[in-house]
Amino acid sequence: MAKWFPETTTQTKSQEKSDTSDKTPIESIVQGKTLSHTYYYHFAANMPTDAKQVFEEAVATYNATGVVKLIEGEGTAKQNRITFFVYSKATSTASQGLIESGHGGPKIIERTGWGAYTVNHARAGLNMKYPQMGIKKSVAVHELGHALGLDHSGSVTSVMYPIDHGRSVLSKMDIAALKSIYPESSR
Residues forming the site for Zn ion (CB under 5 A) = 1-2
- Name the residue with the smallest CB distance to Zn ion: 1
Q: Identify which of residues 51 and 147 has a Cβ nearer to Zn ion in the complex.
A: 147
For the bound state, the minimum distance from the C-beta of residue 143 to Zn ion, rounded and expressed in Å, comes to 7
Q: Identify which of residues 75 and 134 has a Cβ nearer to Zn ion in the complex.
A: 134
Q: Which residues contact 5 (CB under 8 A, 6 or more apart)?
A: 97, 98, 99, 163
Q: Identify which of residues 31 and 34 has a Cβ nearer to Zn ion in the complex.
A: 31
For the bound state, the minimum distance from the C-beta of residue 47 to Zn ion, rounded and expressed in Å, comes to 20
Q: Identify which of residues 29 and 38 has a Cβ nearer to Zn ion in the complex.
A: 29
For the bound state, the minimum distance from the C-beta of residue 1 to Zn ion, rounded and expressed in Å, comes to 4
Q: Identify which of residues 68 and 144 has a Cβ nearer to Zn ion in the complex.
A: 144
Give me the DSSP letters along 104-159: EE--EEEE-STT-EEEEEEEEEEETTSHHHHSSHHHHHHHHHHHHTB---S-TTST
- Using the 8-state DSSP alphabet, how is residue 98 labeled? P
Q: Are 126 and 102 in contact (CB under 8 A)?
A: yes
For the bound state, the minimum distance from the C-beta of residue 76 to Zn ion, rounded and expressed in Å, comes to 28
Task: Give the C-alpha separation, 63 to 99, whole Å.
Answer: 29
Task: Give the C-alpha separation, 109 to 154, whole Å.
Answer: 29
For the bound state, the minimum distance from the C-beta of residue 50 to Zn ion, rounded and expressed in Å, comes to 21
